Amino acid sequence: MNVAASLSVRVARFERDADAVAAMLADYHAQTEAEKAENGLTEPGPLPERYAAEARDPASAFAGAEVLVAERGAELIGMAVLHRAGSDAEIKRLWVGPAGRRSGAGSALLTDAASRARAGGATGLRLSVWDWRIGALALYGRQGFEPAPSWESRERLVCLRREV
C-alpha cells in the first residue's frame, strides 16, 4: 500500500478531533519539556500549566488559529497550528507521532500550511525550532525555510522563514 496516497491534511474538527489533538499536544509538550531538561534549559518536572491548558482544551487554546491535522486512514498522526503573525503566518506545535514519522506527514503539514498562508494573504511562513532538533531542521531546510532574525527571547530557539 502506498502510505503517502492515503495521507491527507485538513483543519481539525474539534467536535470529533479534540481528544486526538489533545493527546498529540500532550505528547509534543512532554517530549519538548524532557528535551529542554536534557539540554539544561529547565529542571525536570510536571508540564507547565500554560502547556497543560493547551492539551486540556485545544479548541479554546487555539481559538482564532487553524489547527491542521494529518490523517492516515481514520487515524490522526500529526498536527500543526497556523496563525497570523503580522504579514506572515506562523506555524506552532508541529508534531507527528512516532507511528506516523517518515510517512510524509510533516512535509504534508508544511505544504498545506504554506498554501493556506498564501491564500490568506501572507507573504511568508515562519516558525521556531530548538537547535537540537536536527531532523526537524533538515525537514524545514528541504521545505525552503532559511534562518531569519530572531523574534524569540528563549535561548537555543532557531527562527526560520520562507516565502509563500
How high is the pLDDT of residue 1?
Answer: 38
Of 63, 60, 30, nearest in space to 47 by CA: 30
How high is the pLDDT of residue 83?
Answer: 96
In order along its 164 residues, the chain shows pLDDT tens digits of 344 448 999 999 999 999 999 999 999 999 999 999 999 999 999 999 999 999 999 999 999 999 999 999 999 999 999 999 899 999 999 999 999 999 999 999 999 999 999 999 999 999 999 999 999 999 999 999 999 999 999 999 999 999 99
Q: Which three cell numbers stand for residue 89?
A: 503566518
Q: Where are the domains of the chain?
A: 4-163
How high is the pLDDT of residue 147?
Answer: 98
How high is the pLDDT of residue 125?
Answer: 98
Q: Which residues contact 17 (CB under 8 A, 6 or more apart)?
A: 69, 76
How high is the pLDDT of residue 14?
Answer: 96
How high is the pLDDT of residue 79?
Answer: 98
CATH of 4-163, one of 3.40.630.30, 1.10.10.60, 3.40.190.10, 3.40.50.300: 3.40.630.30
